[in-house]
Structure 1
């Protein structure tokens, strides 16, 4: 059984769209991670809800979510015609920019409110990316649902942190 089933005219698997998607997703993850410091005194002092996962759970969750994001976009790109490529690339670029920006706004700028604005925009971007992806490959769009669901959870968590820390 092959996870990657798209083939070119000579019955070869087209790996380039997957590699390209993985590269840009990895770059965005690294950019966001560079600003994330859950061990900082500032972050440790924030009041957090009891339902917040432990810090290790975020890395354990984001890693497969980024993998599914790269797979979904690579698959959709493989199915898209040339006219759709720029629209899909733009949707992904906006999404990944918002994803990485959250860490810089929340952690580096120490602004849970700005982080909340970014994650709310990320949720809208997720809906657009899912819609754009579904036009090219409905299966790829389904692959984005766990990523979108986690982002909604992150938004709820960020909103609760804002609520518990009104002066930040």
Structure 2
């Protein structure tokens, strides 16, 4: 089977839709007074980087999911794990930015890290070189988890 543009677009819409829904709960986000006054990790990137990172991640992850969807026979499992990832991704924003529940946010982002890790390591043999498309997500979620953990421990 060849690349399926419709499947890619569906994953793209869901992924960016999740970011948009999560964004509704970020309020002022990184520009808020609350966030500005937190003790943040020295490796915290500038605010503009977050949008760039998530755009790149979701483009790559949509390519990854299109290929996984084509190759994996157990589509129900893939869909359930994917939707769990969506819920975790959306759920972190209101916990962290809206409710200021940094510790609960850390639990959610650590769960998200486990889900992304599962995608990477469970399907890497099946996807081969295409597994590279989930690496931006994996790397970023490790960084984001460390940023969240630093905030929990230092505030």
Given the two structures, how large is their TM-score scaled by the length of structure 1?
Answer: 0.84
Which residue of structure 1 aligns with residue 75 of structure 2? 85
In structure 1, which of residues 9, 30, 50 is the aligned counterpart of residue 20 of structure 2?
30
Q: What CA distance in whole angstroms lies between the structure 2 residues aligned with 1:72 and 1:142?
A: 8
Q: Which has the larger radius of gyration?
A: 1
Q: State yes or no: 1:73 paired with 2:73.
A: no
Structure 2 gap ranges (5+): none
Given the two structures, how large is their TM-score scaled by the length of structure 2?
Answer: 0.90
Q: What CA distance in whole angstroms lies between the structure 2 residues aligned with 1:58 and 1:154?
A: 10
Q: Pairwise CA RMSD of aligned residues?
A: 1.6
Paired residues for 1:1-168 under 5 Å: 6-7=1-2, 13-36=3-26, 37-81=29-73, 84-134=74-124, 136-165=126-155
Q: How many pairs does the alignment contain?
A: 153
Q: What CA distance in whole angstroms lies between the structure 1 residues aligned with 2:125 and 2:100?
A: 38
Q: What CA distance in whole angstroms lies between the structure 1 residues aligned with 2:4 and 2:149?
A: 41
Structure 1 gap ranges (5+): 1-5, 8-12
Which range is displaced more, 50-59 or 135-144?
135-144
Contact 2:44 2:147 in 1 (8 A): yes
